[in-house]
Amino acid sequence: MVSRSADDQATGPEERTQIVTVEGELDLATADGLYRRGRAAIGRHARLLLLDLTGVSFCDSCGLNAFVRIANEADAVGCRYGLVAPQPIVAKVLRITGLDQRLPIFLTIDEALLRFVAPTGGTAGLGT
């Protein structure tokens, strides 16, 4: 079950980085809720959207579909995105399906921020 109590966080200049915390299982019953949360974060004019998967214990094809749909929405508006800290079982599914080549994956939020956010506090390479 995806936690509804996990708060989405906004960080950085003008709150342009959105971090969506995901917990539990991503499956038919929960994946659409994740997609809606991701889409809402993008709708808040995020320049960077990170899905924190630290607490995800299972992900089926519906969860993978939610990741791809969020990535497509982000691409459409020029928002960068990444998956953070997928557990080994989730990382394996991403690797087997080849989605690890489509979706940027980071070990930590700090690693993702270093990759995407310039030292000046701006967002690097985001077509501002």
pLDDT of residue 73: 97
3-state secondary structure 107-127: CCHHHHHHHHECCCCCECCCC
Q: Are 5 and 34 in contact (CB under 8 A)?
A: no
126 within some domain: no
| Residue 120 located in a structural domain | no
Question: CATH number of the domain that 82 lies in?
Answer: 3.30.750.24
**Does some domain include residue 24?**
yes
Q: Is residue 44 part of a domain?
A: yes
Query: What amino acid is encoded at 58 in this protein?
Result: F
DSSP label of 78: T
pLDDT tens, the chain, 128 aa long: 333 334 455 555 445 899 999 999 999 999 999 999 999 999 999 999 999 999 999 999 999 999 999 999 999 999 999 999 999 999 999 999 999 999 999 999 999 999 987 555 454 444 32
Query: Looking at the whole model, is its pTM more than 0.85?
Result: no
> What is the tally of structural domains in the chain?
1
Residue whose C-alpha is closest to residue 37's, from 74, 86, 87: 74
